[in-house]
Amino acid sequence: MQLQRDVDMKMLNTRKAPVWWSGWLLALTFVAFAGGQVHAWEVRDTLAAEEESLLKNPAFDVLVVTVLAVEDTGATNGNPPRVELGVEEFLRGGDRAATVTATWQAPVFHEDVKDSGGFTEAWKARSLAGPEVGAKLIVFSIGPAEAAGVQAASVYRFSPENRSVVLEHAATERSGSIQILLFVVILAMSFLMVILFVRSSSTEMSQKARRGLRLAVSALAVLTLGLYVFYETGISAYSNIRVDLIVIWPAVGAALVVGVVSLFKRRSRAKVSAPPGAASSGLLAVLGRSLVWGLGAGLVAAVAGFLAPMIPGGSGSEQGLLTAVMVGPPGFFVGSFLALLWQVRRVRTLPLGSKTAYGLILLLLFFPFLSSVVSVSSLVIAMSTVEVSGTEQNN
């Protein structure tokens, strides 16, 4: 009886063994498959414009490269592979050498970022393999040439079709120097239009000259609008941080208002009590005083910004110059705006046209004034925080 029971138990264990082994093999296969899906970023064969978001980001250069060498022994997300790439063509961008050494960077998702900042240890330790040597690829690269990074999740095999997709759909932005020049010209034209609008009310000029000035102001308004449209075409839709709009929109808006008013302005009768040219000279005097006060405030702010980093910790003249450049222009806007407000009593005695021009100039300076106050306050708070943290660390 006991012998029969032992035989039955051995047969039962024999039947269970394949089940247990098959379960283990299935689990190991699942783990291996899941790991491959998470850690291996394969080269894609087809580039679909609607699926590749980096095409819309002009910060990434798009290059046709050949992989010359790969160093990925023990490479992880935190210590990515180093690859040597031979650049064959620039599809977007163009400041790379013929051969560059770049890091093969893994993408970062929401779950890979700590709540306190930085990447999780699991993401850093995840293995990451480099590309195949000799492969001809289309890659997205970001960063300077000496520290470029290639996005491993957005690598495509080179083909004429993929190249055509990049050339057709890659968003581009105009060079920064041209955009800055356009920005300054638009602001300068807005101020010039206000000044010409005031001059067109002067009784020292003939009626024909005043009419010509008003037509010139209207033409400048159309030109300003055209320059603004051209300015916007140089900025891609991916650039969603548009601090420049708080300055340029009031300038363009004021230019259009002045242009329309100048076009339909009727001939105004000169007041007998007002001496010739009193309106324009009175407003120009107000603007001149405001400009002087603004330049003085900007100079004081720049000197204070230069000395502030050097007094607490002696961080050097380069940091001082950088801070001076950061706080000097805001000081000019704040000083000019406050000086204009201070002279509001003088403007009350001027004609309606001068008051209108005064209000438009205040509108032009209000948003730069507001952003200057916020930016300088944030900079002061940041410097104070760094100084307190340094003092606590020393203690």
Q: Express each pLDDT in 218-233 by its tens digit.
A: 899 999 999 998 988 8
Q: How confident is the model at residue 83 (pLDDT cuts 50, 70, 90)?
A: very high
- Per-residue pLDDT for 160 more than 80? yes
Does the pTM surpass 0.75? The reply is: no
Q: Where are the domains of the chain?
A: 53-169, 173-269, 274-380
The number of beta carbons lying within 10 Å of the beta carbon of residue 19 is: 9
pLDDT at 157: 93
pLDDT at 13: 47
| pLDDT digit string, tens, across residues 344-393 | 888 888 887 778 878 888 877 787 787 777 777 776 666 555 444 444 44
Highest mean pLDDT among 39-53, 126-140, 260-274: 126-140
Task: Give me the amino acid identity at 141.
Answer: S
pLDDT at 66: 94
Question: CATH for 53-169?
Answer: 2.40.50.120
- Per-residue pLDDT for 44 more than 60? yes
Of 48-62, 104-118, 173-187, 318-332, where does mean pLDDT reach its minimum?
318-332
- Per-residue pLDDT for 133 more than 60? yes
